[in-house]
Amino acid sequence: MIKSSVEENSCSKCSTTDCFIKQFCSSEYITLISDLKETSIYRENQYIAHEGNAVLGLFFIQKGKAKVISSGLGGKTQVVRLTKQGDLIGHRGYGDEKYPIGAIALEESTICFIDNDTIYKAFIDNPLLTYELMMYYSKELRKSESKVKSQAQMNVREKVADALSYCNSLFNETKRYPFLVKLNRLDLADLAGINTEQLSRVLSELKKDEIISVSKNEILITNKDLLDKIISPFGIME
């Protein structure tokens, strides 16, 4: 982990436009948080937050991507969701004693950390921030409920299509194709809730159907319409 300079740490210098702080805090608080937050650069595969550690504050992704993981039976970790620039990490554990999840950088990422006291004061003095975060929680809850319901009814092919569509909707900002899915096969299988053998079999089927192309460890979505058609009966929330 590398600490950023004071200038890089400033919210006024930040190019991220969808940050909760910049969108919903007063200019006074944006300046205050700029002075109090910690900004660090995490390398690929480096832990940003550890499951079970004390909740000391919230993490905001200024730049980069991360995977959020959770431990299951026998300590096996599973990818539960992915995050990108502008997203929060650790908010589901806010108010508890320990983080219920861990987070690992998928690529070099710049992360802003704001401690509990600063966040609490920001909530009290910036009602719009509190309201918008409440709406964010509500949307995430609806998406989680939708995913649980859909996953219980999906076959393996549909689960893989759903995971690929999720990666596309989250990371393909330009909506151009082919789109490279920058996720290794183990993480993609975790996200789909299947094993790697099942994933390999379905990827071969999707390649044969000309929905994706596969080259070594790279997966490219080439036909989004056909991919979406596989999961269209489930009406999944993006």
Count of C-beta atoms within a 10 Å radius of residue 189: 23
Per-residue pLDDT of the chain (238 residues; tens, 9 = 90+): 665 544 567 888 888 888 999 999 999 999 999 999 999 999 999 999 999 999 999 999 999 999 999 988 777 888 999 999 999 998 776 666 888 899 999 999 999 999 999 999 999 999 999 999 999 989 888 888 888 888 899 999 999 999 999 999 999 999 999 999 999 999 999 999 999 999 999 999 999 999 999 987 889 999 999 999 999 998 765 5
Q: Is pTM, for the whole model, over 0.75?
A: yes
pLDDT at 5: 43
pLDDT at 14: 86
pLDDT at 63: 94
Domain ranges of the chain: 2-142, 154-234
Tell me the CATH class for 2-142.
Answer: mainly beta
Question: CA distances (Å), 23 to each of 18, 109, 127, 132, 133, in order?
Answer: 7, 21, 12, 10, 11
The CATH code for residues 154-234 is 1.10.10.10
Which DSSP string corresponds to 90-115?
Answer: SGGGTTSSB-SSEEEESSSEEEEEEE
Count of C-beta atoms within a 10 Å radius of residue 92: 18
